[in-house]
Amino acid sequence: MFGSPESEPLRTKGFPEFLDVDALLAGGWEPLPFQQFILKVHSRCDLACRYCYVYEMADQSWREQPRRMSDAIADRAVERIAEHASRHDLAEIDVILHGGEPLLAGPELISRVVRGVRGAVDTGTRVNVNVQTNGVRLTEAYLRLFESLEIRVGVSLDGDAAGQDRHRRFADGRGSHALVSESLRRLTAGPYHHLFSGILCTIDVRNDPVRTYEALLEYDPPAVSFLLPHGNWADPPPFREPGSSATPYADWLIQIFDVWYDSPVLQTEIRMFREIMRLLMGGPSRTETVGLSPVRMVVIETDGKIEQADSLKSAYHGAPETRLHVLSDDLDRALLHPAIVARQIGELALSPLCRSCDIMSTCGGGLYAHRYSPSAGFAEPSVYCADLYRLITYIRDRCAQDVARLRGAG
């Protein structure tokens, strides 16, 4: 059923270059179809965030991308998604409009893609659409469009004005907090609140964690995702010295966890904490940040290239490539690409150190992009290993204390 990608050598360095996909298939392993489709409808951004992994890190392929996805590529991408959903009889798929800044693509292209996918899939397939925006252009007109097309909206915000404007600035240096805050009020204070899917907040440990969290809560988000800044063993994240036992990111997150966990009412969902708690209770993970569940996501770039998660842009130039394209390849071909296979085989893709770790099934080696080193490829523990260990064991111990207290009370 699944074709093999071209055998031209990949530019991966170390694992998963040597992953023997044929041996896995012969042993009975089967890939899971993609369920989440990330469409890069526009490749440029109207902000110039200092930590941006698309423009500021190792991969510079954005320079070769057209600014906007053409109608022809959009239509072909839609057909490929529908074909994949139909072939694998998927009951539900997620389509995420992404960039760059996806709202720069304009309402016509957004409508074309969303109506196209919904029209092309079989009647039994539910299509959830989400747009992830920086919030700068989230106008009333866009909100009306999203309402009519049932598009949910995620906004990136790093906290209060000081936290947001530390990195999330326009190219001329102006901060974006005032504009994004205005957009968020438009989204959340009136009739569009039900479209709000949540906030993405990239951590800067210099920002006060509780003040950051409280600033996000002002918009009543249904969910918050705290993102660790991308980095790896060769190009470490800020304030994360590779191999050091210091845990600045865990210490930052734990202060928020305590406020969130101790609140008598659920203030919001914090995806990272909820996923860790689910994994500790033996459930599967629903995010690629932690856990060992197969990753079922694929990216379609602005020019139609089929790619892996764009967090890999932080590793090295060309890291997300598969050398497949929607004009010539169906998405099943990507399912057997070694780098995509590596993210579906759980423990088998982990480093020896992770495999012997007592919290392996919860941590899962952390985000794949954060494992990269030039010598071993992606077969390293996360560069955030110490932070992940500290955060997960802290949450485990706090939950265990509560369970013990409840048992004692019973």
Q: Three-class SS of residue 225?
A: strand
365 counts as binding ligand SF4 under rule CB under 6 A: yes
Q: Which residue, 53 or 233, is less far from ligand SF4 as judged by CB?
A: 233
Q: Three-class SS of residue 39?
A: strand
Please pick, from the candidates 113, 272, 360, 379, the single residue that binds ligand SF4 as defined by CB under 6 A: 360
CA distance 143 to 155: 13
Rounded to a whole number of angstroms, the minimum distance from the CB of residue 57 to ligand SF4 is: 21
- Residue pair 364/382 in contact (Cβ under 8 Å)? The answer is no
Please pick, from the candidates 145, 234, 280, 359, the single residue that binds ligand SF4 as defined by CB under 6 A: 359
Spatial neighbors of 243 by CB under 8 A, at least 6 apart, are none
Q: Which residue, 231 or 366, is less far from ligand SF4 as judged by CB?
A: 366
Closest CA to 126 of 82, 167, 172: 82
Q: Which residue, 108 or 358, is less far from ligand SF4 as judged by CB?
A: 358
Q: Which residue, 72 or 353, is less far from ligand SF4 as judged by CB?
A: 353
CA distance 52 to 100: 10
Rounded to a whole number of angstroms, the minimum distance from the CB of residue 28 to ligand SF4 is: 26
CA distance 68 to 302: 6
Distance of CA 304 to the CA centre of its chain: 20
Stretch in the footprint of ligand SF4 (CB under 6 A) among 171-179, 246-254, 270-278, 354-362 = 354-362
Residues in binding contact with ligand SF4, number by CB under 6 A:
13
DSSP, res 366: S
Rounded to a whole number of angstroms, the minimum distance from the CB of residue 365 to ligand SF4 is: 5
Which of the residues 368 through 397 are near ligand SF4 (CB under 6 A)?
381-382, 385, 388-389
Q: Three-class SS of residue 316?
A: coil
CA distance 18 to 373: 15
Q: Which residue, 124 or 243, is less far from ligand SF4 as judged by CB?
A: 243
- Amino acid at residue number 396: R
Please pick, from the candidates 58, 199, 300, 354, the single residue that binds ligand SF4 as defined by CB under 6 A: 354
SS3 labels along 236-253: CCCCCCCCCCCCHHHHHH
Which of the residues 98 through 137 are near ligand SF4 (CB under 6 A)?
none
Q: Which residue, 76 or 286, is less far from ligand SF4 as judged by CB?
A: 286
Closest CA to 219 of 176, 155, 168, 275: 155
Rounded to a whole number of angstroms, the minimum distance from the CB of residue 338 to ligand SF4 is: 21
Spatial neighbors of 264 by CB under 8 A, at least 6 apart, are none
Q: Which residue, 186 or 278, is less far from ligand SF4 as judged by CB?
A: 278
Q: Which residue, 24 or 360, is less far from ligand SF4 as judged by CB?
A: 360
- Strands 305-307 and 321-325, how do they pair? antiparallel
21 counts as binding ligand SF4 under rule CB under 6 A: no
Stretch in the footprint of ligand SF4 (CB under 6 A) among 92-100, 224-232, 259-267, 351-359 = 351-359
- Binding residues (CB under 6 A) for ligand SF4: these are 353-354, 357, 359-360, 363, 365-366, 381-382, 385, 388-389
